[in-house]
Amino acid sequence: MKPPADVVAWNALAQELAELKARELQARQKLIAKYFADVVAGDEGTKTFDLGRGYALAATFRTSYSLDPEKARKAQDEMGRQGDLGVELATRVIRWKPDLRVGEFKKLPPAFARIIRRAMSTSSSTPSLELREPKAKAA
C-alpha cells in the first residue's frame, strides 16, 4: 500500500529541493572560484565582477565569529586586569546573551517557572516532516 498522493507529492518535492540546493551550491562555488579567485580567506564584504553589457556578478563574503564561553570569560578577566580601559573594551566587545536551558526550565516548580516566563518569549517553528518507509517484516 502506498502513502497518500499528497504525501508522495510533498516527498518528491522535498527530495528535488535537496538536490537543487546541492547543485546550486556546487555551481556557486565554481563561479566564486572562476570570477573571484583573487579573494583570500578572511576577506569580507561585497566584491563585484563586471560581466559586460551592464551585468555584474556580486559576491558577499562573510566570516562567522564565535567565542568559547570559558575562554571568553578568561579573556575578559585578563582585559579587566589591565585597568578601566580594559574593562570598558571587554564589556563592549563581548556580549553575554541569556540562553534558556529548556530541559531545566521544564523541571522548574511552577512558581519559579512563572518568574522565568515573564522574561521569555516563544514562537512556533516550522515542523519538520519525514516520510518513513514501512519496515521490512522479519521472515
Per-residue pLDDT of 89-105, as tens digits, reads: 999 999 998 899 999 99
Rounded to whole angstroms, how far apart are CA atoms 79 and 92?
12
Q: Which parts of the chain are beta strand (E)?
A: 45-52, 55-61
Rounded to whole angstroms, how far apart are CA atoms 86 and 67?
18
- What are the pLDDT digits (tens) for 28-38? 999 999 999 99
Task: Determine the pLDDT at residue 60.
Answer: 96
For the entire predicted model, the pTM comes to 0.70
Distance of CA 31 to the CA centre of its chain: 23
User: Cβ-count burial of 87 within 10 angstroms (0-12 exposed, 13-18 middle, 19+ buried)?
Assistant: middle
Phi and psi at 119, nearest 5°, equal -100, 5
